[in-house]
Amino acid sequence: MTALCPISAQTPAPAPAAPAAAAPKKAPHSLRLLCVEAAEKASQLVIAEKTDKGWQARWRLSVSSSFMTDAMGFGSRKLALAIDPAPPKPQGGFNGPAVLVKEELLVQPISEFELPASDTATAILVTNSDPKASPYRVILIDAQTQRFGDGKILVQNFTTHTVAGLFGGKSAKLASGQSTIIEPGIDQEADMSQITLAKQVGDQWEPFCDTRWPGKTEYRRYLLLIPRADGSIHPFVMPEYPPYR
């Protein structure tokens, strides 16, 4: 009798691996809006890109005083700010994230601007006192993380005065309209920095800010020196948390 040999089980060939999903393509330019103070009747906005047909709305958003948006992507550096011609109904008292406009929506700009050559910028919205002008002045700041990263402070002088300051022992001096990025030192207990600012009036210096901030942070900060109607200076502070793009 012929012996029966056991038949070994055959292992099926492995299925071919599915192709890896392509990473979503990022827009080449990134922008955040930082609204210092919202202008009346100009809180519902769109940001538009220049096209052959005109200014095409790309993002729809609501702004309020002391408010910063998430980063928004754009394919072009030529952008414009416009009042939303068909704003959505409010969803309560809080601003939601900016919404990508998918339909064709051409708008009339209230302010045009061009992004810097780097891939990330912040547009600061400051209200215009002239009723005949645009509701906002748009001041663009190049926000490359190589220069403006964790722990750093971007100081922008919007006043007509020269301003000088000490940031944890490190000094900075800004003429009217100038900006600088500084990483404060630590000169106080508990890793704190003493922040002291003064404006130049003739040959004298008049202090207007004396406070303490954390010296080393895992976020970056904007310090905007805003003139008030009474001649004083408001040191407006806004933190920004990563990711910055």
pLDDT confidence of residue 172: 97
Is domain 29-144 given the CATH code 2.60.40 in the classification? yes
- Under CATH, which number does the domain 145-240 receive? 2.60.40
pTM across the whole model: 0.83
Spatial CA neighbour of 123 closest among 108, 137, 144, 133: 137
Greater model confidence, 72 or 8? 72
Spatial CA neighbour of 197 closest among 154, 165, 161: 165
Per residue, the 3-state secondary structure of 126-181, as one string, reads EECCCCCCCCEEEEEEECCCCCCCCCCEEEEECCCCCEEEEECCEEEEECCCCEEE
Spatial CA neighbour of 87 closest among 74, 99, 72, 76: 99
- Say whether pLDDT at 70 is over 80: yes
Share of the chain above pLDDT 70, in %: 89
Question: What residues does CATH 2.60.40 cover in the chain?
Answer: 29-144, 145-240
pLDDT digits (tens, 9 = 90+) for 148-188: 999 999 999 999 999 999 999 999 999 999 999 999 999 99
CA distance 235 to 159: 11
pLDDT digits (tens, 9 = 90+) for 101-133: 999 999 999 999 999 888 889 999 999 888 888
Q: How far from 10 is each of 6, 56, 162, CA to CA, in Å?
A: 12, 61, 83
For residue 189, the tally of other CB atoms under 10 A from its CB is 7
What is the C-alpha end-to-end distance of the chain, expressed in Å? 79
Token pair 């215009």: residue = 128
Is 244 within 8 Å of 44 (Cβ atoms)?
Answer: no
**What does the pLDDT average to over 11-28?**
60
